[in-house]
Amino acid sequence: MKEQLLALLTQHIGEYISGASVSRQLGVTRAAVWKAVQALQKDGFEIEAAPRRGYRLTAAPDRLTPGSILPRLQNDHRDSLLCFPTITSTNDRAKTLAVPDRSQNYYLAAEEQTGGRGRRGRSFYSPAGLGLYLTGLYFPDISPLRASRFTAYAAVAVCRAVEEVCGFAPVIKWPNDILWEGRKLCGILTEMALESESGAIQYMLTGMGINTGQAPEDFPEDIRDIAASLKMATGTAPRRDTLCAALINALDDAYAGFLSEDPAFLAYYQARCATLGHAVNILTGDQVTPAFAESLSDDFGLTVRYEDGRRETVYAGEVSLRAREV
């Protein structure tokens, strides 16, 4: 009830809605509406109540709630958006989610992760209130080999959402990092599970962690020189509910483009890829091989030229820009 009221007030933020109208639209008594208003006010939402005029939302705390996100979405996610104040990992929670409708895209957003992680099991710094931690859960009927490409589509979605909300387009370090001035704004991790007998995809999920509100001194010392936030890039931290909605919309579009293999996503990725045209190191296990990043293949592999003139398209392993470029 509280989230339904918040969604309705958010749709008409700054405008009065009569108590009778709210009661009718939500299918509850006016006394129940007043009780929900008081609960939202207690949570920090500034709601004015005026006789003969009704209720209006004038200000809202920057929190990730269904009521503040759902009105901004282009698709109906009333039954497929979950928000958590704190969680071990949105990816880990998505793996245990009981899903009634596999035709839906599901999204899990958190204010804080206590066990956030990136590629190769590395920990991902996920403090409360300073980031957007979101996982998309999908059920594609495709080959497992194709699934790994969705990371690239998700990277495009992150860039588009940031550009829409913050007014600038960050760049992509192949395959899964989003950068601003060589520093990491966002990491992306795609995982999947296969059915043991058929080898078909049981689910595919992609987790994203975007640094939104940190000042440089907020980062741990070991990543302070390589991490960045949207606040550092623009001078102002965006509202995370607004960014979350923009990202979910962009991810819905990206997933549709992924299934149809829309070439526009490859073109966008190429245009924003900071790795292309630079000297890189290819890290495979303990081996480091110098190379030059030339181009992307149609399936988002990175084509590199080694110092002996050989060319290869790589799909896995770690790629780092040389010298001070990352």
Reported as a single tens digit per residue, the pLDDT across 24-43 is 998 999 899 889 989 888 88
* Range with lowest mean pLDDT among 29-33, 161-165, 166-170: 29-33
Reported as a single tens digit per residue, the pLDDT across 104-140 is 999 999 999 998 776 655 667 888 889 999 999 999 9
Question: What is 279-321's CATH topology?
Answer: SH3 type barrels. (2.30.30)
* The Cα angle at residue 322 between residues 317 and 324, in degrees rounded to 5: 130
Cis peptide before 263 (omega within 30 of 0): no
Q: What is the pLDDT of residue 190?
A: 94
143, 252 contact by CB (below 8 A): no
- pTM summary value: 0.87
Q: How many CA atoms lie within 13 A of 148 on its CB side?
A: 12
Q: What is the pLDDT of residue 94?
A: 96
Reported as a single tens digit per residue, the pLDDT across 252-297 is 999 999 999 999 999 999 999 999 999 999 988 788 999 999 999 9
Answer whether residue 169 shows pLDDT above 60.
Answer: yes
Q: What is the pLDDT of residue 319?
A: 86
Neighbours of 162 (CB within 10 A): 27
Under the banding of pLDDT at 50, 70 and 90, the label for residue 1 is confident
Q: What is the pLDDT of residue 120?
A: 57
Q: What is the pLDDT of residue 326?
A: 40
72, 245 contact by CB (below 8 A): yes
Domain 66-272 CATH assignment equals 3.30.930.10: yes
Q: Which CATH number fits domain 2-59: 3.40.630.10, 1.20.210.10, 1.10.10.10, 3.30.310.50?
A: 1.10.10.10
Domain ranges for the chain, please list them. 2-59, 66-272, 279-321
Reported as a single tens digit per residue, the pLDDT across 285-302 is 788 999 999 999 999 999
